[in-house]
Amino acid sequence: MMWYDGGWGWGGWFVMTVFMVLFWAVLIVGLVALVRYLTGTRHHQQAGPPPPPGEGGGQDRRAENLLAERFARGEIDEDEYKGRLAVLREHR
């Protein structure tokens, strides 16, 4: 039989274990980040200008703009858009 002298010994097993755990951790974090990127779980909201001061005029305008954005994205249909817009304008 041959004698394998100069091997890593117990330290080699420890180093391999640490690197294997790091490898799997990086792989899992990378896959989670890729899935989140591809499914669009990021927030695309950008900070807009602050509403103008006054008696709620800016707040009403913001609500109408938000409603229009939801309609444009297809989150609500035309009937729901018109109904909600009427309610918003009714309570001015």
Give, rounded to a whole angstrom, the gap between the first and last alpha carbons of the chain: 94
- Integer Cα distance of 29 and 35 in angstroms: 10
The neighbour count for residue 1, using CB atoms within 10 Å, is 3
pLDDT over 90, % of the chain: 41
Query: What's the distance, CA 25 to chain centroid?
Result: 21
Higher pLDDT, 53 or 9: 9
- Integer Cα distance of 77 and 91 in angstroms: 22
- Integer Cα distance of 65 and 54 in angstroms: 17
Given a cut of 90, whether residue 41 has pLDDT beyond it is no
Q: Specify whether the CB–CB gap between 65 and 57 falls below 8 A.
A: no
For residues 8-37, give the mean pLDDT. Answer: 91
Higher pLDDT, 58 or 75: 75
Instruction: Indicate the helix (H) or strand (E) that contains 33.
Output: helix 9-39
Given a cut of 80, whether residue 34 has pLDDT beyond it is yes
